[in-house]
Amino acid sequence: MRVWTLCDLWLRHLEHRAFPSGYFFTGAFMEYGERRGPLANSLRAVMKTWLKALDRSIQQAQDRKQLLSEPNAEETAFELNALLIGAYWAELAGSGKAYPAARVSVLNRFRSWASNRIASRHFKSLKAWNRYLKARARRSGV
């Protein structure tokens, strides 16, 4: 599912510390998001693009009957984004386990939204999910 890939890549981006002083967009958005001007406008555009990408990927999974159509994609994107931002904050607070915990939380959400197209057992752990993804890739020849 593309939505999993987006969430996982977002977390990997943070794990690999692409920005040495932290995640630029979240910090900048918190600082400038309520202000006026070109910087604030650009930051809002980036955040809207991210949320729209999550929304579209959820809609795609729903269209493919991988996820149920309820809750709606916009609410689901909001919830996933909140989990991802929360993981970043927990990591900054010294958790040391926030990113793996976020992945499990995302999978738990998927399990609650999953259709019968993907068996719920595949969402029970990161190991089970990765096995499913590898098997699916082998079947599709990727």
Sign (positive or negative) of CA dihedral 114, 119, 121, 126: negative
pLDDT of amino acid 142: 62
Q: Which of 54-58, 61-65, 114-118, 136-140 has the highest mean pLDDT?
A: 54-58
Mean pLDDT of 117-126: 84
- Please tell me the distance from the alpha carbon of residue 26 to that of residue 56, in angstroms, as a whole number: 21
Secondary structure element (H or E) that encloses residue 129, with its range: helix 126-140
| Mean pLDDT, residues 30-47 taken together | 82
pLDDT tens readout for residues 39-55: 888 888 888 999 999 99
Helix residue ranges per DSSP H, 2-125 = 2-15, 24-32, 38-63, 73-92, 98-113
At residue 21, the pLDDT reads 59
- Decide which of 3.40.50.1260, 3.30.365.10, 3.40.228.10, 1.10.357.10 is the CATH code for 2-140: 1.10.357.10
Q: Is the pLDDT of residue 112 over 80?
A: yes
